[in-house]
Every structure is written in structure tokens, then in C-alpha cells.
Chains A and B, each alone.
Chain A
Amino acid sequence: MGQFFNNYLIDPLAFWADLPENYWLGYVVAALIQCVILLNVVAVGALFFIWLERKVSGRIQDRLGPTRVGGRFGWLQTLADGLKLLTKEDLTPENADPLLFRAAPYVSFAASFAAYLALPFSNGWVAWDVNVAVFFILAVMGIEVFGVILAGYSSGSKWSLFGAMREAAQVVSYEVPLGLCVVIPVLICGTMNLITIGNMQAGLFTNWLLFHDPFTFCVFFVYFTCATASVNRAPFDLAEAESELVAGFHTEYSGLRWSFFFMAEYGSMFAVSGLAAILFFGGWNGPIPIFHWLGWANSENWYLLQIANLFGALNFVFKAVLGVTLMMWARWTLPRLRIDQVMTTCLKYCVPLAAICFIGVVLWQLYYPWWFINDIHLNGWAKPFAHRSEVREPWVLQIERESPPVRTGVTNRSGEAASSPRDQVRLGALGVSSRLLVERAEGGVR
């Protein structure tokens, strides 16, 4: 998205001004447009998801859910709720620490929103194309818990404090298996750039990392469990256990401040589902690569490329919404866990499972069974599918453009072409982008 606006919004604006002095305005406008779009993804997304939650819970509990507001299907129900929240009195308890009490919802919301900075919606459609996007999203989502802790602590209520402490214990524990799960796709792709990871899975759905090997298939479910826990959703919603803690950390909140917590929650649900879609389900690359077959996805023609990207973005949003729906399904199906069960799930099941899968993937990269059909074997004859090793991080492409490689193909230390299986395995086990660096290093040594 960044490049899109750089090329097609800033440049015409600058041309219109016809003075380099006016570039600064173009950058402001471009930044504002991206902010507004992303803010709407979070805010309108929350409106839609709350409506969806009501409908899903209604369906699961054998009732209809909202039916009247806004004509059919009750699709304006959330808006009506929002108006109600706006008109509610904004209370601050007497015992509260007013500064922290007021700041807490914004900390939560800002952390959740900041994750969208690095979340690509389609090939190149991202606000900030950063090479450590996965890491950035995890780090920023980890800050979200701070809003909850501050809210619980500053409310001056025992229910809030209990809720916050549970949340802190839970989220801090679940970051360990979550990090391990996220490392596995990074390990396979050799990059933390989400766009590169997404592009590496282009092609038929067999190229999705979910089907890369049995271990990634398992680890997705571990990831989904940990992600559900880290965004504080049922069955892990101990921080707001209604039956025990009134409403947990947001007991004392009302009105718009309260709704900020919910926008943050639904925002991060979408973000972790989107992350899952990119890491395991090919992101914007569909089960059937129609736009790759048409040649639009790699087209030189800007319009065709953007049409392909638009459908890619729709594809990505569909996958992420599916993930959110799955979370809702889990919420209305499973009972809430006790705190000791939450910790048991994390430390006795999720961490060992993720660790075993991690080792399994490492071994798989070295000794994958020859009969396993995935992209490695489809390389030759399934050419319309992008091959993983042809996708590289932007900076690698830039180096290649500016100083074309002296030699082609993989060579070993002594200089002849790497034909020995050991060398190929060694380079194959590294991420694809790393290979170029290794080749350059060894080329330079000689």
C-alpha cells in the first residue's frame, strides 16, 4: 500500500505542485490516507465483528440474534449500541488513579492498532514494509496487555485487580508458545518480512505452509490456541470472567472508554487471524492461483496488477474473518477454563508441542521424505506456481539489480558447482534470502 500511494498519489500531487518544496504536503496526505484506511479497518471491523458475534452466538444457542435494527438481519445493531455507549455517563471511581484510569483504554487500543502498521493486506499493500514485520506485530501485541493491567490496577477495585493479574499471568505465559509457533514459518521462509512470506506461498493451496509438512499442520492449531489466549478470548477470558469477577478488568469502565477496550479486542482478534492467514494459509494467495494463471499477479500493467492485488486483499480479509469466526465458535462452544487449567494448557501442552514441532520442522528441512509432494517437487513442471526460492526480500532484489551476481547457481566452498547433496542440504536448510548472503560471503572469501 505504501508503494501504491508513493507512486500514484504523492507523485501526481508533487507534479501538480511542480515544486519539490511541496513534497512534504504529499507525504502528509499519503500518511493521513493510510491512517484513515487502517483506522477504519479496525473501527468498522469492530462494528461488523460485534454484529457477527451476536449472530454466531444466536445460531449456536438456537436463537435468532438481532433481527430488527436496520431492517433485516439486525445489521445496524452495533451502531445502535455504539450510540448508546456514546450517551452513557463517563464515570471515574473515587478510588481510581485518574491519570492511569483514563490512559489505559488508549494504551490497549493504540497497541492493537499499531499492529496493523506492519500487517500486509495484499502483495505490497502494507503501511510500513518492514523486514521484521512478524516480530514487530508480536512485540506490539504484547504491549496490549499493559492497557489491561493499568486498567485493573488503577480502577481501585478488587475485581479489576484480580482480572488484571490473571491477564498478566496468562498473556506473559502464552507469549512463549506463541513466539515458538511464529518462529516456525519464519524458519521455513528464512525471512521475517510478511510480504515475502506471503509471496512464497503463491500458487496452489499445497504451497501453503500449513501443508508444508505434518509439523506445520500441527503447529497451526497450537498457534491458534495461543493466539486466542493472548487476545484474551473465551475459553481463556479469565480477565473478565463474568461469573466470578463482575466484569474483570473493565468493571469500572463505562461508555466510550469501555468500547475502546472492545475495539482493541476485536482489532487484535483480526490481527492475529490475519497473521495466521499469512503465516500458514498463504495470505492473499488463494487456494487456486487464478490471477497467477492469468498472469495478472506478476503483470507489468499497473491496472491488472492492482486488480489482482485487490482480489488478493479480499482473499486475505476473507481468511482473517474466517479465523475470527472460528474464535467466536470456540467462545460459544467451550466453557471457560480455570486459571490452573489455563496454565496447564500453556506450559504442559502448548510449549512442548510447539517445541517438538520446531525440532520436527528443522529436521524436515534437512531430510524431507522424497515422496512428499510439496513445492520442492512441483518446481519443474508446475511453473505457473511461484517457486519458493524465487521469492526474495526487497533488499535482496535491490542488490541483485544494482550488482548482478557474478556467477549463477549454488557453489560450494571450493568453487565448483554444488552437486554434493550435503551442500545442497546445507543451503536448502537456510532461508532463501539468506542463501544470497552466504553465496556472497563465500564468493568474497575466494
Chain B
Amino acid sequence: MIPSITDWHSFFFYLFATVTCVFALAVLFATNIVRMAFYLIISLGASAGLFILAGAEFLGVMQLMIYVGGTLVLLVFGVMLTAQERFISMKTRGGEWVMAAIVGGALLVLLVQTAFSIDDWTAPRADLSAVSAIETQTATRLGLGLLGIRPDQAEEADPVLRQGMSGYLLLFEIVSVHLLVVLIGAAYLARSKRVTSLARAAEMRR
């Protein structure tokens, strides 16, 4: 018998983790690009489930919004717009496999190393009663930080460090303006060089 509710948590963790991994592998071994996108949706959706399970709802929903709902839709849209033939399949050559294995393996080694170097993660916590049950991980703090107010200042003991804790408003604005400039530049470069009716009239007059 499963002893308590915490096991449902583990159950869903294993479920989402398995789905994430299996479909990530499916992306790797599929050849049809739209099928790859479909597997990627499931994989990313399940990892959003993992975030939500860990109590980071905002991050999980962000994952759904940006990667699943945004990037992948644009990807498939791009494929549909540019495809010369139906159901294009991608063949991966041997050299690409080697390169991908080296890069991916290096990242994996780094991540595993990092994960095992954190002491808190190697053994279960003994002082479970000290863990606060209050759900304070909300998006509100993040939003306030972007506005220039840091609610977590109160938790910083060192007054010198506390002085340095400022909001992200300026950085956020700089990044946004940069993105806007890039977008306008892209639209300018990609615009169709259409002959306006005015120019055509001038042409005809000549």
C-alpha cells in the first residue's frame, strides 16, 4: 500500500520525468521535423509539469507560454511556410552525431557534477519541521523586483548587502528597448520593396 499523499507527489514526479526523458529521446531519433516538434511539445510540457510540481508555478507556466505556445508554434509555422515538399525528413550524418554527442555530453557531465556537489541534494533533510509550509513563492516578488522594489531586502541580514539590492527596472528597460530595436531592424530589413503608387505616378510622368 502507498502510505501517504507524499507518494502521489513522487508518482507525478516520476511520471513527468519519464515523459520528459522519453519524448526528449524521441525528438532525437525522429526524422520528420514536425513530429520532432510534436514530441518536443510533450517533453517541454512535461518539464513545465515538473516545475509546477516543485512549487514554481510561474516558471512552469512561463515554460508553457514561451516555449510550447510561442517558440514551437513559430517553428512549425516556419516549417510550413518554407517547406518545399511535404513531410520533410532530416537525416543526421555521422559527423553531426559525434559533434552533438561531445557538446551534449560535456553539458551533461557539468550538470551531473554540479547536482552532486550540492550537499542538500545528496541526502534528505532531517529538519523537515523547520521547512515553512507557507506558500510565499509567488510571482508578486518578481513583479515588484521589476518595478524597482525588492521585498526580499527584509531577509538580508547584512546591511551593506541590503543597500546593494536594487530592482531590475533599468536593466529590464534596457533589454526591452534593445529587443524592440532588433525587431524594428528585422522588420525594416525584411520588408518588401514595394513600388508605392506615388513613385509609380512619378515614373509614369517621366
Contact = CB atoms under 8 A, between A and B. Distances in A.
Tell me whether chain B's interface is mostly helix, strand or loop, or mixed: helix
Interface string B68-85: 111011101100110000
B77 A149 contact: yes
A135 B48 CA distance: 13
Contacts of B131: none
B57 A132 contact: yes
Nearest to B162: A445
Nearest to B152: A441
A3 to B, nearest CB: 14
A394 B143 CA distance: 18
A142 interface: yes
A172 B74 contact: yes
B176 interface: no
Interface string B133-175: 0111011110110010111111100000010000000000000
Range for the number of chain A residues in contact with chain B: 35 or more
Contact of A393 (B87, B138, B144, B154): B138
A97 B80 CA distance: 14
Contacts of A190: 140
A27 B61 contact: no
B61 A97 contact: no
A434 interface: yes
Contact of B134 (A20, A138, A142, A402): A402
Contact of B144 (A164, A438, A443): A438
A132 B139 contact: yes
- Which of B38, B45, B80, B81 has the most C-beta atoms of chain A within 10 angstroms of its own C-beta? B38
B65 interface: yes
Nearest to B143: A434
Contact of A139 (B64, B81, B134): B64
B80 A161 contact: yes
Given A153-B80, A165-B77, A441-B151, A136 B61 contact: yes
B60 to A, nearest CB: 8
Given A445-B154, A445-B162, A131 B5 contact: no
Given A100-B35, A135-B65, A143-B68, A399 B4 contact: no
Interface in A1-36: 20-24, 27
Interface in B13-71: 32, 34-35, 38, 41, 45, 57-58, 61-62, 64-65, 68-70
B2 interface: yes
Contacts of A169: 77
Contact of A23 (B5, B61, B77, B81): B5
Nearest to A136: B61
A441 B149 contact: yes
Contact of A395 (B1, B87, B135): B135
A278 interface: no
Given A146-B73, A441-B149, A131 B138 contact: yes
Interface residues of B, number: 49
A396 B4 CA distance: 28
Nearest to B48: A139
Nearest to B87: A97
Contacts of B34: 97, 100, 150, 153-154
B138 A139 contact: no
B200 interface: no
Contact of B7 (A24, A152, A398): A24
Interface in A174-216: 175, 190-192
B3 interface: yes
B154 A27 contact: no
Given A139-B62, A142-B64, A444-B153, 19 more contacts: A23-B5, A95-B86, A97-B32, A132-B139, A135-B58, A136-B64, A139-B64, A146-B69, A149-B73, A150-B34, A150-B38, A153-B34, A154-B34, A175-B69, A399-B136, A402-B134, A430-B144, A434-B143, A441-B151
Query: 7 tightest A-B contacts by CB?
Result: A444-B154, A142-B69, A139-B65, A437-B151, A139-B64, A441-B151, A168-B77
20 contacts: A20-B4, A24-B5, A131-B57, A132-B139, A135-B139, A136-B57, A143-B41, A143-B45, A143-B64, A146-B72, A149-B76, A165-B80, A395-B135, A395-B138, A398-B135, A399-B134, A430-B144, A431-B140, A434-B143, A445-B162
